[in-house]
Structure 1
């Protein structure tokens, strides 16, 4: 009888194991449009975001990183995360809109359910002049972005390599 008790107990333990209650399995923002409240500037920090229903991916670019273009050349600039720039992933209690980030008076709903800041990675910005040489087109990519939750779980399925494109005027 003792053998059956331990066998049943062992089988029960195997069947009841959890994987740490991982809530976030995938972060996928590649097909979501890039948004911002104010037009990107070359001499200030820039905050840009992507919204996917009740999730948001927020990029805070370091000051001056968009001011690296040369007419007639393609210039690639890198910004480290979290040292120079920051990438933050948020989950909200309900769908969120641009107004959540851009209104003068912050909205109280939806509320932030979870917020995770990237622990590692690089923001890569490729800058070229447009055909008229009136604006720089900055293509922003994320590389090696690593999110670690409060319970030390690493989010490994990241589909966020293409962050988007922004333009800035070519200085005279």
Structure 2
């Protein structure tokens, strides 16, 4: 009886699986450059992206999300999967460059290995005036939650400081 109990315990112990739990880290705070394909205008939607070798963090802002006026108290905008404020994390098969996002003819390489759209979170925008026509928009992310296709939740606070975007007021 003792041997049977010991055998069953050993089988249960060695057959337990952690479910291949993977804790991913999405860290773009060390990447200071925000890329764009065109000059950012307050009156048009903006596609902003940060590249970290084989991964990208893509932020979509609707028209008029940025304003050419001083805003010292952060404007808070909710991120949703359907937009208009949308945050996407992509991994690629190889190093990715700005050309991947900005080419008029879509590039075939590198390929997207995984794309995860943020389920929730907030975008905070503050604006300062550099001079009478130039404005600096500081973009911060908070409480961002991504969920993979396997329903693994990635809640990561190491992507807080998205960066700074500059706009110019027309004369």
Following superposition, the deviation at residue 158 of structure 1 comes to 3.4
Which blocks of at least 5 consecutive residues in structure 1 are unaligned?
A: none
Aligned length: 166
Following superposition, the deviation at residue 7 of structure 1 comes to 2.2
From 5, 17, 25, the counterpart of 1:3 = 5
Partner of 1:99 in structure 2? 99
Following superposition, the deviation at residue 18 of structure 1 comes to 2.4
Partner of 1:52 in structure 2? 52
Following superposition, the deviation at residue 119 of structure 1 comes to 0.6
Which blocks of at least 5 consecutive residues in structure 2 are unaligned?
A: none
> After superposition, where does 1:11-160 map in structure 2 within 5 Å?
11-14=13-16, 17-22=17-22, 25-32=24-31, 33-67=33-67, 69-70=69-70, 74=72, 76-82=74-80, 83-130=83-130, 132-160=131-159
The CA distance in 2 between the partners of 1:42 and 1:11, in whole Å, is 60
Contact 2:68 2:169 in 1 (8 A): no
SS in 1 for 2:89: strand
Following superposition, the deviation at residue 94 of structure 1 comes to 1.1
TM-score of the pair, normalised by structure 1? 0.89
The CA distance in 1 between the partners of 2:170 and 2:105, in whole Å, is 33
Following superposition, the deviation at residue 122 of structure 1 comes to 1.0
- Compare 37-46 and 152-161 and name the one that shifted more: 152-161
Contact 1:141 1:161 in 2 (8 A): yes
SS in 2 for 1:100: helix
Following superposition, the deviation at residue 171 of structure 1 comes to 4.3
- Cα RMSD of the aligned pairs, angstroms, is 1.7
The CA distance in 2 between the partners of 1:152 and 1:126, in whole Å, is 33
